[in-house]
Chain A
Amino acid sequence: MSSTWIDQDASGAQRSVSGKGRWMPKPVHWTDWIFAVLVIAGAGFAHTQYGYAMDGYEVGILWSVVPVVIYMSYRWSSLKALIFAVSVASLLGIGAYGGDLGAGDQKFVLKYLLSSQTAILWMGVLFVTATVSYWVGLIGRSETAQFVGTALTWGAVFFGFTGLFVRWFESYLIGPDVGHIPVSNLYEVFVLFALVTGLYYLYYEQVYNTRQLGAFVMLVVVMAVGFLAWYGIERQAYAIQPLVPALQSWWMKIHVPANFIGYGTFSLAAMVAFAYLLKVYAHASSVKALFPTAGLGVLMFLEPLVFRSEGVSLYWAVYFGIGCVVVGGIVMARRRIADALPSLEILDDLMYKSIAVGFAFFTVATILGALWAAEAWGAYWQWDPKETWALVVWLNYAAWLHMRLVKGLRGVVASYWALVGLLITGFAFLGVNMFLSGLHSYGQL
């Protein structure tokens, strides 16, 4: 008989929740140490190699990222492989350029793999195929297909991040005065949005140990990819543009990514809410109950084009058509889908968690934005349309969380609300750029 229960705890514990354990829930593996060393070495390399392009704040940002990355990859081991692969690929790409932008169109490895546009194109292709795989897996009850979906999503995230990093470098090749982090216009942040949403999904996929939701979450990512394809190819928005004076600030490096963690997780929550509603109504005898759900689904596809002033082009007509077919198909196959989905409880929990993460980061992002605005525009808040809509989004989710935490709101109403929340978020993200002018008019359509 032991004289303490703690030792036993350690031997038998998969996940202990002790005070220390909350932050360090698992033993530190030797790979964690190696990885930490690599990250520090990488930051040192970046500092010595590219320090000339950073100011004091940016050096600060670089080194603050180091512990965050080390801790995050300790908590989520898969991140190590991703970060490692992205770093190697980015450095390969950067090396292949050899200081000459023209190499991007000549060297095979750049032109077909690692140059920013090519990598982002790969990201899009992989996201789309991943979505198809997830759907095949969900409807065909094929674990293999779902596994492939997961693998492809990882691949897409890898290519996306590599593309962004290489793009960052390319911007300096265009001209030292042009170089900047690729989060400065609508095209770049759309890539970021797809990546953040994809990555968060992959995290939850592991935490909840279910691949059934990939089919849903990837839909919103594919919507973003669809937009990117149009915006990049048709509008040629992929071109790297130099920064106007208002954007020349280190605040951009933290404000924008924080914002997109918010946008990404809100979208994720909305897609889970969609799945939730589908599961609830799958066995409803009346089809009527499905109308609001299907309607919201269609609206989401409609959002990118609903406010377009120049009429609907063929591309958007096709886009919308596919959207309707997808939503229709989902509604038709709802029973088969619903049976495979995880329990309502899990869906509900996931929805809450991602809205909570999103809300926390959105709060931070809005505050960072205010701090930046105080420096650039002379006022931390001046009711600019983008600011105002950020406030609307924030208040919307604040109300959602109030109702949930205080009144215990969950289930169908919370799901509808989360879906409507995405519409509002979508408007704040896209609609404001489309047809409200203001200080944030960096990514106009």
Chain B
Amino acid sequence: MMRRLAELLGSMRFAISLLTLICVASAIGTLVRQNEPWVNYVNQFGPFWASWFQTLGVFSIYNAPWFVAVMTFLVVSTSLCVWRNAPKMIHEMKVYRENVRESSLKAFAHRWEGQFSQTPAELQRLVSEWIEHRGYSTRLNARDNGVMIAAKAGSANRLGYLATHLAIIVICIGGLLDSGVPLKLAVWATDKKPVTGAEVASGIPTDSRFGVANPSYRANLLLPEGETSRVAVLNVDQGLLIQDLPFELTLKQFRIDFYSTGMPKLFASDVQVHDPETGKRFDATIEVNKPLIYKGVTVYQSSFDDGGSRVALKGYSLKGDNPLAFDVKGVIGSATELRNRDAVYKLEFTGFKAFNVESMPVNNGSPSEGDNAEAGQSPGNNLNPETSAVGAERTSTMPNQFGAGSSMSVFQGNLASVVGPGVKHDPNNQFVNVGPSVNYKLRDSSGQAREFHNFMLPIAIDGGRFYLVGVRDTPAESFRYLRLPVDDQGGLDGFSRFRAALDDAGVRQSAAQRFATAAFGQSAGSADLVKGVAQGAKKALDRFAGVDSEGLSGLNAIAKMIETTVPEAERQKGTEVIIRLIQGAMWEVYQISRERAGLPKAEPDEVHGKFVQDAQVAYSDLSQFGSPLILQLDQFEEVKASVFQVAKAPGQWIVYVGCFLLVVGVFAMFYIRERRLFFWITELPSGAAIKMGMSTTRKTMDFEHEFEQICAELNRRKAAS
């Protein structure tokens, strides 16, 4: 029974089945994103399948018990294969089989016979010398009726077999040492209890801690600038464990550098290492591709994050008639409470970036495409191009996308630019640092959060300058950006005043009146006209402000108003009139908003004209913005944090030894051909006869060539003799 089991486990059929299983499982692991939050899986597969897949370990397939088991079986199977075959192979390598019987030479598929005039002794010497020169080693077996020369070459081929199969075992064992398994075992054996983030703050209990002696771990360490840590964090299923490090690490500075294209060029952490045991203290720089190795522990630059930057925000209400800004201060990663007249919000500061390099059109367009690329990004920054601060691939998504609509003409146009050096001449876009940005979430009393992404500085788009305020309701969406025009002071106050004024019924009333008077009040007897115009303007402004307009506001409300009140035949003319009405009245709203703030009257020039126009559009868009307030980044004090991976991988060198064996073995297997030659030399009355047989474990064309060559040479010698 045991023997049959061992035979099955060691069989190649079994091994190939395991390999297939590993292939399929691995492929699944690449198709289903691994180790994502549970919610994502439920969204993707539905609760039923998600829980099934969870049970099968599909979401963490490479650590699933059955996957580890398959790997183990592979090791067992390969070991059995080596165990069974190695003695045979080593024996085969050594033996010459010089005792082979003359008669069995006849069974060889490759054989040759011929007679020579030399004496058997002479012939034996010639043949031995000749084939030894060809790279064979020989052994003689003198018998009563003749001499058998047995020769072999390429025996190291068998070593190739041994080396490759041993390599697989060694690599798997080394890999197992560095996998999550030792940690699980250690947690189980020492009964460690994972803690949650909240508990960490109140001190770490010893049974959630691993000492310096832990032989294998891969932990994370987020270190803000200026701070020191002696521990790293291990993520286990339900929480965290703390790993003590054999040294103290202080982050002095984290540096990011960009190429002129906006691609990241350098992520580097200047650290100080302090060894409490020896008191040794030294500086080091950790970069991607340049880890720090000290006391058997390797520290890698794995990503970066905000280390708790302090930000000061200016808040503007988007409802009601108060145009004044209020101040909010906070630290990234923390939260605070915001009260307004009728609600309480939790304000969570989630991210800050001091630089945002975007591909900006030289003339017009918006950076929204660039922002889209960033949409799915969490505040943490991975160092890989895919999600890095300013993604490398963003450039490729920008200008020349070959959508379904474009045609071969683009192709031809681009063809001309392809000759010459490998440099893209793109006069339409350039990379610009658009300044700092902040991410925050506003969570209402029901727990619903809306996320915002605001730029600190105005950005030039479409010939104007705007503050961009991004919003989204779920992390799956990309940000939608609201453009708020810059006022003549370069700030947002102007828009806030305009917005508040427009939302004030009294202001709308007096603006309509002022407009009517200014436009028609000079001529005598125009009182009725003025009154009519004022009424019309008031109505239009009301609608625009969302009063009596079926839930619509802004330009949509006006469009609706035109649709319902102006007969179709007069629509074009009517539309013009209403637009002129609104334009005029809006100008007055603007003027009133300035008066209230004690600002001088605005001259009807291009600057103010454009502002009023943009402000109307922005106001119109507010209805889709959905938030009662915005928070504009006013001041900041950046604190960066570096995220390190701290690893002790005892299996690494075992794996490398295995890899070396593998390479040696693979080349030996393919490029060393094992061959055997047998010459049976007998005495003839006039000379001697040779019966030759040639064999190999693997028939290839090279073998056939060699056989033909050897036969040809023997034939030539036979003729010569």
A-side interface residues toward B, CB under 8 Å? 1, 3-6, 8-9, 12, 15-22, 101, 104-105, 110-112, 115-118, 121, 166-167, 170-171, 173-175, 177-178, 182, 230, 232-242, 244-246, 248-249, 310-311, 313-315, 345-346, 349, 352, 356-357, 359-360, 363-364, 367, 370-371, 374-381, 383, 385, 388-389, 391-392, 395-396, 398-399, 402-403, 405-407, 432, 436-439, 441-442, 444
| Known A-B contacts A241-B261, A383-B26; A376 and B421 likewise in contact (beta carbons under 8 Å) | no
A376:B289 contact, CB within 8 angstroms: yes
B267:A245 contact, CB within 8 angstroms: yes
Report the Cα distance A378→B417, complex, angstroms.
41
A177:B385 contact, CB within 8 angstroms: no
A233:B414 contact, CB within 8 angstroms: yes
| Known A-B contacts A1-B721, A12-B716, A378-B647; A112 and B419 likewise in contact (beta carbons under 8 Å) | yes
Return chain A residues, CB-CB under 8 Å to B29. 383, 388
A421 vs chain B, min Cβ distance (A): 12
Return chain B residues, CB-CB under 8 Å to A18. 133-135
A177:B259 contact, CB within 8 angstroms: yes
A382 vs chain B, min Cβ distance (A): 9
A233:B415 contact, CB within 8 angstroms: yes
A233:B418 contact, CB within 8 angstroms: yes
| Known A-B contacts A177-B259, A363-B663, A441-B393; A245 and B383 likewise in contact (beta carbons under 8 Å) | yes
A314:B420 contact, CB within 8 angstroms: no
Return chain B residues, CB-CB under 8 Å to A117. 418-422
B287:A178 contact, CB within 8 angstroms: no
B700:A352 contact, CB within 8 angstroms: yes
Report the Cα distance A100→B695, complex, angstroms.
64
Binds A, one of B181-189, B400-408, B532-540: B400-408
A244-B385, A352-B700, A367-B663 are known contacts; what are 15 more A-B pairs with Cβ within 8 Å?
Answer: A5-B127, A5-B713, A8-B713, A9-B133, A18-B133, A19-B133, A175-B259, A236-B414, A239-B424, A345-B701, A360-B670, A383-B62, A389-B27, A395-B23, A442-B385
A199 vs chain B, min Cβ distance (A): 19
B16:A402 contact, CB within 8 angstroms: yes
Return chain A residues, CB-CB under 8 Å to B393. 441, 444
Closest B residue by C-beta to A5? B130
B392 at the binding interface (Cβ < 8 Å): yes
Return chain A residues, CB-CB under 8 Å to B395. 241
B-side interface residues toward A, CB under 8 Å? 12, 15-16, 19-20, 22-23, 26-27, 29-31, 34, 62, 117-118, 126-127, 129-130, 133-136, 153, 175, 178, 218, 259-261, 263-267, 287-291, 298, 300, 302, 383-386, 388, 392-393, 395-396, 400-404, 406-408, 410-411, 414-415, 417-424, 426, 645, 647, 649, 652, 655-656, 659, 662-663, 666-667, 669-670, 698, 700-701, 705-706, 709, 713, 716-717, 720-721
Report the Cα distance A239→B34, complex, angstroms.
33
| Known A-B contacts A18-B135, A245-B267, A388-B30; A236 and B129 likewise in contact (beta carbons under 8 Å) | no
A16:B134 contact, CB within 8 angstroms: yes
B413 vs chain A, min Cβ distance (A): 9
A426 vs chain B, min Cβ distance (A): 14
A235:B709 contact, CB within 8 angstroms: no
Return chain B residues, CB-CB under 8 Å to A4. 126, 129-130
Report the Cα distance A287→B193, complex, angstroms.
67
Report the Cα distance A398→B19, complex, angstroms.
9
B422:A363 contact, CB within 8 angstroms: no
B386:A379 contact, CB within 8 angstroms: no
Return chain B residues, CB-CB under 8 Å to A383. 26, 29-30, 34, 62
A246:B422 contact, CB within 8 angstroms: no
